[in-house]
Amino acid sequence: PLGSNPAFQVNLNAASQGSSPLLSPVLSDAGGARIEEEDEMKRKRCPTDKAYFIAKEILATERTYLKDLEVITVWFRSAVIKENAMPEGLMTLLFSNIDPIYEFHRGFLKEIEQRLSLW
């Protein structure tokens, strides 16, 4: 009997098309989807932010390490040569391994600084 009533059928059709107050964006979960999308975007940006801070930490560590290597390769060597405190063979043995490491890290630091400046 209800299905034969044309007014009732119109109301059902209107409700199924979204004009019902129960299907309005205010009462439905459509707003929740937008909030979830915003949260997802924040999560996607968060790894980038974390990666940037990690890269900055690596940069700071590399600067400190290069300064330590500089103390050994420049200042310590100069003091040892000036004081003639070590035989030549021992100095060669000691500094032959440190010099390439120092040179590598000088270039590495420059590369890290360039990459972070473009981040």
What pLDDT score does 47 carry?
59
Distance CA 73, CA 85 (A): 15
Q: pLDDT tens digits, the chain, 119 residues: what are they?
A: 544 555 444 444 444 444 555 554 454 555 556 677 776 666 665 656 888 899 999 999 999 999 999 999 899 999 999 999 999 999 888 888 898 999 999 999 999 999 999 98
Q: How far is CA 4 from CA 7, 10, 11, 13, 79, in A?
A: 9, 11, 13, 14, 106
pTM over 0.95: no
